[in-house]
Amino acid sequence: MTDVANTGAPAAPKTSKSLLTQDARTIKRNRAETRFKMYGIAAISIGMLMLVILLTTIIGRGTGAFQQTFITLSVPLTEAKIDKTGTRDIEQIKKVSTFGYAPLLSAAFAQKVTELGIETDLKPKDMANLLSKDAPATLRDYVLENLDQIGQTVEFEFLAQSRVDGYLKDRVDRGSIANDKNISAEQLDLVDGLLVAGTLEKRFNISFITGADASDARPEAAGMGVSMIGSLSMMLVVLVLALPIGVAASIYLEEFAPKNWITDVIEVNISNLAAVPSIVFGILGLAVFINYMHLPNSAPLVGGLVLTLMTLPTIIISTRASLKAVPPSIRDAALGVGASKMQSVFHHVLPLAAPGILTGTIIGLAQALGETAPLLLIGMVGFIASNPPETIAEGLLSPNSAMPAQIYEWAKRSDPAFYERAWGGIIILLVFLISMNAIAVMLRRRFERRW
Amino acid sequence: MKDSNISENDVITQPVKIAARNVQVYYGDNHAIKDVNVEIDDKTVTAFIGPSGCGKSTFLRCINRMNDTIDICRVTGDIEIDGEDIYDRKVDPVQLRAKVGMVFQKPNPFPKSIYDNVAYGPRIHGLARNKAELDDIVERALKRGAIWNEVKDRLNEPGTGLSGGQQQRLCIARAVATEPEVLLMDEPCSALDPIATAQVEELIDELRQNYSVVIVTHSMQQAARVSQKTAFFHLGHLVEFGDTDKIFTAPEDPRTESYITGRIG
């Protein structure tokens, strides 16, 4: 280097600066970049925080609904009370209403308390009051199905009433029951005694997942099962209708339709439909499917049709996007070897677009699964205590609710026990949504691995 | 594959395979091809050269009606293959494309196995009655595509996993598998390295035994190496068409001379 300098090479311009120091402009730019990164990190942190709050709240409040307090009792099925004629004639036995079974429960409860040696001033009827109002019906159903058991003593696990359940879940305490006519301090003393004796315990309650809704007086007996069937029936309708219609419409629009103002108008309208509030589809369903076509009220079939209308734009948009993402060179290649337009679409383009189509469909379904507003308008919300339908047709046509509608129904009831169940229902709904998304991811992976 | 072998390109008169008369192509309002008349011989390699945007690819895509897929594209005039007008109302472009194979600029194998890539054409055209016949067709096509030795042990592997040059030869094998009579190649070597280019050029020379090959190229050296006839396009006009050695040694039109000497283009 010194040689070069000595030979009189022109000196470096004075403006040249060392690379080891940053000039003012670079410092400014670097600061701007750092600031932007900080904004991004802050935004993500806020998002994550919200998610954590959401999940902890839901799990904290909802898991209680999956546990229920049960009381174990041995009930003597006294023939004199149930079958006065002694003929085991089912028609005669059916004449005994649930009120007729209540004394059996009171007697059994009193005997249990005596056996356990718990001292209480309560009358047998008040003791039996700790049981759910569902208990006599449970007993009656059992007797009607097992006539040979009359005269025997059978051990049952009855649901405890919601105040007892609330007491075990710290929702109810001696202070809060001061003006509560459903439960008294003496009854809570008895609960404490039974708890120590192990007759009364809190454990997992499968009927919250499988059971039907219950009336206001028996929150402990309410379950999501029937509305789950309602939701699944609707999803079946949506899948069967929206997937083929949506995919066929997108393929036609994307691959075959001439590009002119008519297709432009259709395209704009489909995009707009995706943004239409779902309640609009609800009132459309009410007007068209129920008032005009006279399909049954509150039926999952109608709900499914409404949700199909709502899901179609989502499916069409995502399908068109994934068809567009298939490189045109594949179409050229197929046409170049003499494939017809349809062969090139069905043999080459569609398989490549399948993962995207599936993902779009499942996301559309998940969106439909969580939709409540349109269901309010077609009467799919309300007290549906019917037993699970037996056939698919019955499931589609008989009145039913849906999971989000059931949650809404519970949340608006006054008893805090229902409030807990609403949170529990949200957990079930979220499990459904997460598993649907997991299926979407899995299918995507699987298909993409194939090519 | 030297530049100096122009004179070695034998020029034997062959019957005319493709005849174009007064062909005009419009993209919307843009007049892309202006009044092209050309006669392309059978069992000959014909090269289309010219600067970018001169219409050589557009004209090539007219020969198997690939331009039909572009909505705004309009073609007038006659293009005849073996004396039949391919733009006749009765002609189904699908049948035409089985007769006129095409290889594209970018290798575009289907994302399927090597075997399925080649077998696809014969399958949809019903060229094989059973699996054994199909196997035969695939083997023959891959041999003709000069790629058989490289892939014979891995026919079930994806065609997209091959190198660029192999992919392009696979695409050529795919094009010849349907037994076309004409093979159109749209800058088949532009995405390839010199070695792969040399292999493909060698292959083109062999394909001349059976097909009428039309190749669009940006490289004048390539045109000189592989073709017997050359057409020079400029601004949508077919400026000059003739024997390759004549075009490169004694062009008649001053525009051709400017292009091949590097003054325009």
What's the pLDDT tens digit per position in A298-320? 889 999 999 999 999 999 999 99
Taking the whole predicted model, whether its pTM rises above 0.90 is answered as no
Residues of chain B found within 8 Å of residue A335, distances taken between Cβ atoms: 66, 69, 97
Q: What is the pLDDT of residues A205-258, one digit of tens each?
A: 988 988 888 888 888 888 888 889 889 999 999 999 999 999 999 999 999 988
Residue A448 contacts B where some CB pair is shorter than 8 Å = no
Residue A434 has pLDDT above 80, yes or no: yes
Cα four-point dihedral sign A21, A24, A25, A28: positive
Residue A421 has pLDDT above 70, yes or no: yes
- What is the band of A134 on the pLDDT scale with cuts at 50, 70, 90? confident
Report which of B165, B173, B120 is spatially closest to residue B142, judged by C-alpha positions: B173
Q: Is A151 helix (H, G, I), strand (E, B) or coil?
A: coil
Alpha helices in A96-161 (DSSP H): 98-116, 124-128, 135-145
Residue B174 has pLDDT above 60, yes or no: yes
Residue of B92, B104, B110 to mutate when probing chain A, most A C-beta within 10 A? B110
Cβ distance A338 to B178 less than 8 Å, yes or no, reads yes
- What is the band of A58 on the pLDDT scale with cuts at 50, 70, 90? very high
Which of A215-219, A406-410, A430-434 bottoms out in mean pLDDT, i.e. has the lowest?
A215-219
Cβ distance A336 to B109 less than 8 Å, yes or no, reads no
Q: Which residue type occupies B83?
A: G
- In whole numbers, what is the pLDDT of chain B averaged over residues? 87
Predicted local distance difference test score (pLDDT) of residue B3: 47
Domains and CATH numbers, chain B: 15-260 (3.40.50.300)
Which DSSP string corresponds to A409-449? Answer: HHHTSSSHHHHHHHHHHHHHHHHHHHHHHHHHHHHHHHHHH
- What is the band of A446 on the pLDDT scale with cuts at 50, 70, 90? confident
- What is the band of A3 on the pLDDT scale with cuts at 50, 70, 90? very low
What is the rounded distance in angstroms from the CA atom of residue A58 to the CA atom of residue B99?
Answer: 66
What is the rounded distance in angstroms from the CA atom of residue B181 to the CA atom of residue B82?
Answer: 10
Helix (H) / strand (E) element for B220: namely: helix B220-226
Residue A194 has pLDDT above 70, yes or no: yes
Residue B122 has pLDDT above 80, yes or no: yes
Residue A333 contacts B where some CB pair is shorter than 8 Å = yes
Helix (H) / strand (E) element for B180: namely: none
Burial class (CB in 10 A: 0-12, 13-18, 19+), A373: middle
CA angle B161, B167, B170 (to 5 degrees): 115
Cβ distance B102 to A336 less than 8 Å, yes or no, reads yes
Which DSSP string corresponds to A358-398? Answer: HHHHHHHHHHHHT--HHHHHTT--S---PPPPSSHHHHHHS
- In whole numbers, what is the pLDDT of chain A averaged over residues? 87
What angle separates helix B194-207 from helix B164-177, to the nearest 10 degrees? Answer: 20
Helix (H) / strand (E) element for A341: namely: helix A341-343
Question: Domains of chain A: which residue ranges?
Answer: 66-205, 225-447
Cβ distance A337 to B97 less than 8 Å, yes or no, reads yes
Query: How many angstroms separate the CA of residue B65 from the nearest CA in chain A?
Result: 10
> Between the CA of residue A204 and those of A131, B133, B197, B221, what are the distances in Å?
17, 65, 72, 82
Query: How many angstroms separate the CA of residue B150 from the nearest CA in chain A?
Result: 22
Residues of chain A found within 8 Å of residue B174, distances taken between Cβ atoms: 333, 337
Which of A9-13, A229-233, B159-163 bottoms out in mean pLDDT, i.e. has the lowest?
A9-13
What is the rounded distance in angstroms from the CA atom of residue A327 to the CA atom of residue A381?
Answer: 46
Strands A67-76 and A200-204: what pairing? Answer: antiparallel
Residue A95 has pLDDT above 90, yes or no: no
Strands B229-234 and B45-49: what pairing? Answer: parallel
Q: What is the pLDDT of residues B81-101, one digit of tens each?
A: 988 899 888 888 888 998 899
CATH architecture of A225-447: Orthogonal Bundle (1.10)
Q: Which residue type occupies A331?
A: R
Q: How many CB pairs under 8 A join A and B?
A: 66
Residue B190 has pLDDT above 50, yes or no: yes
